[in-house]
Amino acid sequence: MSKIITLLKKDFLLELRQQHTFFGILLYVASTIFVLYLAMGQPESTVYDGLFWMIQLFVCINAVAKSFMQESKGRMLYFYTITSPVQFIISKLIYSSVIMLLMVLVSLILFWVLLGNPVMNPLQFIGIACLGGLSLSLVFTLMSAIAAKAHQNAAIMAILGFPLIIPQLLLLIRLSKSAFGEVFREGALLQITLLLIGLDILVVVLSVVLFPFLWKD
Amino acid sequence: MKLKWWKILCMVFLCFTFTAGFLIRVPMVGNLHQSIRNFFFHVPMWFGQMGLLSLSLVYSIAYLRTQNLRYDIYASELAKTGIIFGLLGLATGSIWAKYTWGEFWSNDPKQVCVAIALLIYMAYLVLRGSMNDIDKKARISGVYNIFAFFIYIPLIMIVPRMVQSLHPGGMEGAKGGGNPALGGGSLDATMEMIFWPAVFGWLLLGIWISNLKIRLYLLANKNVIHE
């Protein structure tokens, strides 16, 4: 446990010291949404919903990609000697979820400021957005590990991750329609939410089980 | 030529499917008419695909446990045959859909799920192609294969049951009870008698095709892969 905290501390400290990467992603988020605003003005709720999740997807690829790719080969060897793979992947999962949640909140604010607010139930939408950000970042963390091990760029991560994330993304888009005032069959909302949470747990378990195989070279 | 028993079984089953499947009297269900015979070809493709992909998963796990490169070859060739079965299932399904639902593609949840499955396994092949070191390729793609299978399978088991679908066995499927693969009560006794042999026949054919491809690969790379 203390090792996980130490690893997390190191990641956040790096984030604080190398602010250019963090601000780079922030700028990426801001400029994408600004371009959207220039292109569409204030779209209606279906378009808004779809656009929001697409932006989250691309932000996630950019934000989470570096979690493994920033580690050089020498540094990975160093981690190999001081920690266990399970601790390492758990710290990475937490780190990328935190970064992604931050990005989700920033893009929510920007969406509200620039693209208007067709959301009828803001609190619910924030909750769904956070759940979605969590799901996205968990899946892409392991994809980032695979892509980094394959010595590939972020493109391969997108190729691997997109098909895997489509089902969850479709569920999220459906779920967030409820925040735009669409009425659902009784119990369906809870069902989808539980399904998403269940999938998140599954992803975490799989990452913990599978990462040790990726780890050793 | 040495024939194994299961290859003979496969041929017998498929001959049976192709003769009896076209000749028997079929029940008239809704607007399906004679196109219901496609049931013996379209649905077994999905059983075949699931079977092959599950076998591929088993070999990926076996590879990660034993580091024997043969298992990695098995996993990749089985996945490739699984993709071919998926494409065939999509083709037979689209043609069937054109004449019963009016469109080749109508964004039915099951069609979407299949498209996702094909994308996932094509990504698996892209990942394999992107690495040269065979040990590394085997290990990393094995991890991806396992991860993808466990994300994908729960979804195709759960999602089609939650939403409306044109396929039988959707959320409000009559007697289907929500099984995404079968129409439940709409299958009568004679059809069932042909359907199950068809399923096993096609599955065995898939294994046979993969088996040939694996043997070819192992022969071509004899100097790389040792026992």
Using the Cβ of A139 and the Cβ atoms of chain B, whether some distance falls under 8 Å is answered with yes
pLDDT recorded at residue A175: 87
What HEC string does B33-46 produce? HHHHHHHHHHHHHH
ipTM of the complex: 0.85
In angstroms, the separation between the Cα of residue B156 and the nearest Cα of chain A is 9
Local confidence band at A137 (pLDDT 50, 70, 90 cut-offs): very high
- DSSP secondary structure letter of residue A182: -
Q: How high is the pLDDT of residue A23?
A: 86
Q: B140 near A144, Cβ under 8 Å? A: no
Contact A213 B131 (CB under 8 A): no
Number of domains chain A is built from: 1
Residue A167 has a pLDDT of: 83
**What number of helices (H) and strands (E) belong to chain B?**
6, 0
Among candidates A160, A192, A207 on the partner chain, residue whose Cβ is nearest the Cβ of B144 = A160
Identify from A135, A136, A146 which residue to disrupt to test chain B contact, counting B C-beta atoms within 10 A and taking the largest count: A146
Positive or negative CA dihedral for B118, A171, A138, A200? negative
Q: What is the mean pLDDT of residues B89-116?
A: 82
CA distances from B177 to A181, B120, B168, B185 (A): 31, 28, 10, 9
Q: Which of A53, A54, A62 is nearest to A25 (CA)?
A: A62
Phi then psi for B170, rounded to 5 degrees?
-80, -160
pLDDT digits over A96-123, tens only? 999 899 999 999 999 888 888 888 888 8
Q: Report the phi/psi class of residue B123: left, alpha or beta, with left for phi > 0 and alpha for psi in -120 to 50.
A: alpha
List C-alpha distances in Å: A144 to A11, A158, B106, B144. 16, 9, 34, 11
Span B112-123, mean pLDDT? 87
Per-residue confidence (pLDDT) for residue A200, from 0 to 100: 92
DSSP assignment of A35-103 equals HHHHHHSS--HHHHHHHHHHHHHHHHHHHHHHHHHTS-HHHHHHHHHHS-HHHHHHHHHHHHHHHHHHH
Identify the residue among B139, B141, B155 best suited for mutation to test binding to A, counting A beta carbons within 10 A and taking the highest.
Answer: B155
B174-222 confidence digits (pLDDT tens): 333 344 445 545 566 777 788 888 888 899 999 999 999 999 988 888 8
Give the DSSP per-residue string, B183-206: -GGG--HHHHHHHHHHHHHHHHHH
The mean predicted confidence, pLDDT, of chain A is 86
Task: Look at residue A145 in the predicted model and tell me its pLDDT.
Answer: 87
Task: Supply the pLDDT for residue B81.
Answer: 93
* Residue with the larger pLDDT of the pair B167 and A41: A41
pLDDT digits (tens, 9 = 90+) for B30-65: 666 777 788 888 888 888 888 999 999 999 999 999
- All residues at 6 or more sequence positions from B5 whose CB lies less than 8 Å from its CB, including other chains: none
Residue range A122-140: average pLDDT?
Answer: 91
Q: Are B179 and B39 in contact (CB under 8 A)?
A: no
Of A164, A171, A191, the CB nearest to B148: A164
* Enclosing domain of residue A42: 2-215
Query: What residues in A contact B158, CB-CB < 8 Å?
Result: 195
- Whole-Å CA distances, A120 to A75, A124, A138: 48, 9, 28
Q: Which helix (H) or strand (E) holds B143?
A: helix B134-162
Give residue B58's Cα distance to chain centre: 15
Residue B40 CB neighbour total at 10 angstroms: 24
Query: What is d(CA B148, CA B124) in angstroms, rounded to the nearest whole number?
Result: 9
CA of A150 vs chain B CAs: smallest distance (Å): 7
Report the gap between the CA of A183 and the closest CA in chain B (Å): 15
Please report residues of B whose CB lies closer than 8 A to that of A213: 64, 139, 142-143
Q: Tens digit of pLDDT for each residue in A68-90? A: 777 777 787 788 888 888 888 89
- Tell me which chain B residue has its CA closest to the CA of residue A160: B123
| Selection from A59-68, A80-89, A94-103, A178-187 with the highest mean pLDDT | A94-103
Surface-to-core class of residue B49, CB atoms within 10 Å of its CB (0-12 exposed, 13-18 middle, 19+ buried): buried
Predicted confidence at residue A101, as pLDDT, reads 92
- Region B127-147: what's the mean pLDDT? 89
With contacts defined as CB-CB under 8 Å, which chain A residues touch B148? 163-164
Task: With CA atoms as reference, report the closest residue to B49 among B74, B76, B84, B14.
Answer: B84
Average pLDDT for A135-159: 84
Q: Verify whether the Cβ–Cβ distance A206 to B151 is below 8 Å.
A: yes
Query: What is the arithmetic mean of pLDDT over B8-14?
Result: 87
Chain position carrying tokens 């203390």 = A2
Residues of chain B in contact with residue A151, where contact means CB-CB under 8 angstroms, are: 131
Q: Cβ contacts of residue A12 below 8 Å, gap of 6+?
A: A95
Task: Identify all chain B residues contacting A195, using CB atoms and an 8 Å cutoff.
Answer: 158, 162
Q: Give residue B178's pLDDT.
A: 41
**Nearest in space to A52 (alpha carbons), one of A179, A187, A156, A139:** A179
pLDDT at B80 over 90: yes
Tell me, yes or no, if A164 comes closer than 8 A to chain B by beta carbon.
yes
Return the residue of B nearest to A143 by Cα.
B144
Q: How far apart are CA B144 and CA A142, in angstroms?
A: 9
pLDDT at B1: 57
Distance (Å, whole) CA B22 – CA A216? 55
3-class DSSP state of B83: helix
Average pLDDT of the segment spanning B132-151: 89
pLDDT at position B98 is: 83
**Residue B104 token pair:** 């080749």
Chain B residues with CB inside 8 Å of A188's CB?
162
Q: Exposed, middle or buried: residue B38 (CB in 10 Å: 0-12, 13-18, 19+)?
A: middle
This prediction has a pTM of 0.85
Nearest residue on chain A to B164, judged by CA atoms?
A185
CB contact under 8 A, A166 and B158: no
pLDDT of residue A217: 67
3-state class percentages of chain A: helix first, strand second, coil last, to nearest 5 = 85, 0, 15
Q: How far apart are CA A34 and CA A186, in angstroms?
A: 37
